[in-house]
Amino acid sequence: MTLAPDNATVKRALSVHAAIGLVASALLYLVSLSGAVAVFYQEWQRIEQPDVPEMTAIGPAAVQRAVEAVLATEKGKPPTTHLYVHLPVEPLPRATITTDTQAFHVDPSGKIAGPEEIAWSDFLVELHYTLNLPAVLGITIVGGVGVMMLALSLSGVVAHPRIFRDAFRLRARDKGGIGLADWHNRLSVWTLPFTVAIAFTGALIGMAYVTAFGLAGTSYRGDMEAVYAPIFGAEGQPDKTAAPPPNVAAAMEYMRDHHPQVELTYVTLHDPGTAGQHVQVLGEHRRRLIFGEYYTFDAQGRFHQRAGLADGAIGQQAAASNYRLHFGNFGGLPVKVAYFLFGLVLTAICATGTYIWLGKRERRGVNEPRLRAAWDATIWGTPLMLGVTFLLRQVIGNDAPLALIFWLGMAALVTAGCLITSRDTFAKALQLALAATLALIPIVIWMR
């Protein structure tokens, strides 16, 4: 006797299967949209905290004073393992020092000018990187999304053999969804190189982190830095004996005298205030896709070695080029604008793909109003909640629980969509709310 599931069970199973597909599509959409907005991460920082001293450059002596001033504020706290000095660059002309527990802006003379307060900008980047989840879990999911995006892009080309021949063929919009499918396919073709590049580099970044985490656990006693050492340089031998702050000024002066063509972007102090401390200077090489080259100095500011990102093994140079290619922070503002626009197109492709899929199901008699309402909530609710969190950051302040607000808001919108019977009314309400929020953002920025 064969036991077969009844029709109701099959229908429920298909609904669950469809819901899982919708969740995967929602992740694609969310990562694409947050990535497009995060292209302007540096610009968002300036908007979020406008009253910060800005400068085109800061001298070595001023950086030394700033480092010593920040380390002085660390007394009585657990020793910071790293101290980062962000040096002024064209898109973000301000100097900032970050430790394990705090961050400060400094003025051109090296005095502390106030705390860094960029909670919304950081929330946005964390949303794109990890979906605001714990690092390993979040990056694993986002890396998987990159793999999924790459597979969808390539399989879409294979599944439509005439996709390039019909690259500019657009049929009229109709109830059968042909017009929407045409726009989906055309946009996919026009942005295919960008999509493949973004998906491949994103998947590589995410999977590399997960692989490094696994290697650290199995072969390096949990030491992630030891895994990355062959690429980005080793940490050095720790010695927790107390010591004066390192001579950062001497390291910067060496770079100025011996590598004047290199634009310094970051100074990193490893185990500052201990006998095992050393200094790494990150320098950007013009007309190179690498994010920079690391120059290592001892505590007295004597040069030791370079990491090899600029002229080392091909794998090193490729790894160092991955980040800028993915985030578009090369070539200045024109490249950022292009990445933003292409990112919005990619977001539209994700949105229309699921609408096409839902439409096909409805034409086959599988009507899922809750799934469609949930997708409407995702498409219009995600940018709406991004705008809401930005506005609440201005009202509540830097301590606003932005990740909690965003995800609770998204859950509420999806739930409301599933409960409201009039789908068209719900979608239009979301669109109006989004339009009002987007109109309010520049007003709030102007009034600050």
What DSSP letter does each residue of 173-233 carry, written as one string? P-TTSHHHHHHHHHHHHHTHHHHHHHHHHHHHHHHHHHHHHHHHHHHSTT-HHHHHHHHH-
Average pLDDT, the chain: 87
The DSSP call for residue 92 is B
CB-count burial class (<10 Å; 0-12, 13-18, 19+) for 36: buried
Determine the Cα–Cα distance for residues 153 and 200; give it in Å rounded to an integer.
11
Q: In 3D, which of 423, 195, 144 has the Cα closest to residue 326? A: 195
Pick 8 or 327 by higher pLDDT: 327
pLDDT at residue number 33: 96
Determine the Cα–Cα distance for residues 79 and 399; give it in Å rounded to an integer.
24
Lowest-pLDDT choice from 50-64, 194-208, 217-231, 271-285: 217-231
For the cut 60, the answer to whether the pLDDT of residue 66 exceeds it is: yes
Share of the chain above pLDDT 90, in %: 54
Mean pLDDT, range 256-271, rounded to an integer: 95
pLDDT at residue number 382: 97
Determine the Cα–Cα distance for residues 382 and 128; give it in Å rounded to an integer.
13
Lowest-pLDDT choice from 106-110, 180-184, 389-393, 437-441: 180-184
For the cut 70, the answer to whether the pLDDT of residue 413 exceeds it is: yes
- Which residues, in sequence order, are bridge partners of residue 295? 281, 306
Pick 232 or 294 by higher pLDDT: 294
Name the pLDDT band for 421 (thresholds 50, 70, 90). Answer: low
Determine the Cα–Cα distance for residues 43 and 8; give it in Å rounded to an integer.
53
pLDDT at residue number 274: 93
Q: In 3D, which of 224, 236, 232 has the Cα closest to residue 277? A: 236
Residues 16-54 have pLDDT tens digits of 545 555 778 899 999 999 999 999 999 999 999 999 999
pLDDT at residue number 358: 83
Question: Are 281 and 294 within 8 A, CB to CB?
Answer: yes
For the cut 60, the answer to whether the pLDDT of residue 13 exceeds it is: no
Question: Are 389 and 402 within 8 A, CB to CB?
Answer: yes
Mean pLDDT, range 367-396, rounded to an integer: 92
If DSSP states are collapsed to H, E and C, what string results for 337-353?
A: HHHHHHHHHHHHHHHHH
pLDDT at residue number 257: 96
Q: How many helices (H) and strands (E) does the chain have?
A: 14, 8
Mean pLDDT, range 247-253, rounded to an integer: 97
Residue 65 belongs to what H/E stretch? helix 60-73
Token code pair at residue 403: 């990740």
Name the pLDDT band for 107 (thresholds 50, 70, 90). Answer: very high
For the cut 60, the answer to whether the pLDDT of residue 189 exceeds it is: yes
Name the pLDDT band for 4 (thresholds 50, 70, 90). Answer: very low
> CB-based contacts of 384: which residues, under 8 Å, 6+ apart?
409, 413, 430, 433, 434, 437
Mean pLDDT, range 277-292, rounded to an integer: 92
For the cut 70, the answer to whether the pLDDT of residue 177 exceeds it is: no
pLDDT at residue number 184: 78
Token code pair at residue 150: 């790459």
Give 326-335's long-range contacts (Cβ < 8 A, gap of 24+).
326/197, 326/198, 326/201, 326/202, 326/205, 327/38, 327/39, 327/41, 328/39, 329/39, 329/42, 329/91, 330/289, 332/90, 332/91, 333/91
For the cut 80, the answer to whether the pLDDT of residue 443 exceeds it is: yes
Pick 233 or 30 by higher pLDDT: 30
- What phi and psi, each to the nearest 5 degrees, are found at residue 303? -70, 140
For the cut 60, the answer to whether the pLDDT of residue 10 exceeds it is: no
Lowest-pLDDT choice from 121-125, 286-290, 359-363: 359-363
Highest mean pLDDT, choosing among 10-14, 92-96, 311-315, 415-419: 92-96
For the cut 80, the answer to whether the pLDDT of residue 14 exceeds it is: no
